Amino acid sequence: MCCDSKNMGYTLVELVVVIVLIGIISAVGASLFLSRSAFSPLLATQQLSAATLLAQQAALAGNSAGRLTINQTAEDFVFTVGSGTLNARTFSLDRAGTTLSGASLPLTLTFNIRGEVVGGGNTSLTFNGESAYQTCISSLGAVYAGGCQP
């Protein structure tokens, strides 16, 4: 016989050690997830980029919707493409305690038939929350992370 009745099962010390280890691992794991903010600066930049591209494409097509308005409400960041109630498309993103600075809001960018920002110049925006995250809208309509290049 390979095993006798004395060596079957775990001791009380082994079980307590395993339970303590599981408790420590779950406490560390829970703290990692609970400390994360609901706001994602990368997601905000991608949402802003998508709205900018949509306004740019409308301007290239000769459509009057070639305008982007950036604003923030108490709860959301709001990106509106076009103007008026019928032609406008609105994208919103939960702010989660984050603010947008760098330009006076609401900020309206209008694109010309070449897809460039009317009036030229780069627009630098900063999402401020647990940390600051810079985003740039170039005079050519490109949106990218980081500060604007001169």
Nearest to 48 by CA among 13, 101, 92: 92
Written as tens digits, the pLDDT of the chain (150 aa) is 455 566 677 788 888 888 888 888 887 777 666 655 556 777 788 888 888 888 888 888 888 778 899 999 988 889 998 876 667 888 888 888 788 888 888 999 999 988 889 987 899 999 887 778 888 999 888 888 888 887
Question: Is the domain defined by 41-145 classed in CATH 3.20.20.80?
Answer: no
Distance CA 134, CA 37 (A): 17
Tell me if the pTM is above 0.85: no
> Cα(79)–Cα(72) distance, rounded to whole angstroms?
9
